[in-house]
Amino acid sequence: MTKPIELFFWPTPNGYKITIMLEELGVPYEVKYINIGKGEQFAPDFLKIAPNNRMPAIIDPDGPGGAPISVFESGAILQYLGRKYGRFYPKDERARVQVEEWLFWQMGGLGPMAGQAHHFRQYAPEKIAYGIDRYTNEVNRLYGVMDRRLADHEYLAGDYSIADMACIGWVRPYENQGQTLEDFPNLKRWFEAVLARPAVQRGIEVGQEERARQASLAEDKEAQKVLFNQRAR
């Protein structure tokens, strides 16, 4: 019997990408929590599979040729799982290009910009108007890009795919980003449709008990010291 995929995870938008994908695939997996507020992402054993000291990461015991393989970076994990199981990542090149466009749009745009909006709006020790406005406005622009795309596409790449899984976790905290979905009706329709999927609901539920046991990051100064203003080690 094949061993489950090991998922190194903490309940964040990037982590949810992988729990959603694994739930959609219906393949067995074992969650290994990496408490990023306590610095567990810097443990030497974890750095062997995730040299950027960021979760998520996976170890697939049944990798190429039947040998184990580790994969870090959420976008690379989604692509790997999509190729392996032949779902949510089309083989047709034209369709695959569309998925990759929106996947990398999330990786290079929506995620980093929303993350900065969260930082300056909630976590920065002093409220810097320029930073708040800069990233709140950029997230608003990106929401507009999604809204226009979704005006004539049911999902970002046409059919439901890893691109949608990559984006949904970053749109969920839209209020913390200073946005309202009422301004983006096509995005709102997509948002509600994706969140209605049972596998998405299960994926987002993973780790909620662990997270509930932790203090709010906005109040946890020790966790902020671990997460923010890191330098090379």
Q: Closest Cα to residue 158, out of 102, 105, 74?
A: 102
Q: How far apart are the first and last CA of the chain?
A: 40
Per-residue pLDDT of 97-113, as tens digits, reads 999 999 999 999 999 99
- Confirm if 71 and 58 have CB atoms less than 8 A apart: yes
pLDDT of 95 over the 80 cut: yes
Mean pLDDT, range 8-16, rounded to an integer = 97
What value does the mean pLDDT take over residues 156-161? 97
Interatomic CA distance for residues 131 and 178, integer angstroms:
13
Cα distance between residue 99 and residue 162, in whole Å: 7
Q: What is the mean pLDDT of residues 4-29?
A: 98
Among 39-43, 147-151, 195-199, the least confident range = 39-43
Residue 79, pLDDT above cutoff 90: yes
Q: What percent of the chain has pLDDT over 70?
A: 99
Residue range 41-52: mean pLDDT, rounded: 96
Sign of the Cα torsion 12, 18, 24, 28 reads negative
What pLDDT does 225 receive?
A: 76
pLDDT digits (tens, 9 = 90+) for 178-192: 999 999 999 999 999
pLDDT of residue 1: 63
With a cut of 70, say whether residue 35 has pLDDT above it.
yes
Structural tokens at position 30: 């074992």
β partners of residue 59: 6, 70
* Tokens at 225, concatenated: 């010291």
Closest by alpha carbon to 207, among 169, 179, 161, 176? Answer: 169
pLDDT for 218 beyond 70 = no
Query: Per-residue pLDDT for 115 more than 90?
Result: yes
Q: How far apart are CA 99 and CA 46, in angstroms?
A: 29
Query: pLDDT averaged over the chain?
Result: 95
User: Whole-prediction pTM value?
Assistant: 0.95
CA distance 194 to 37: 29
Is-contact 189 147, C-beta < 8 A?
A: no
Distance (Å, whole) CA 69 – CA 124: 38
The pLDDT value given to residue 83: 98
Cα dihedral sign for 152, 153, 157, 158? negative
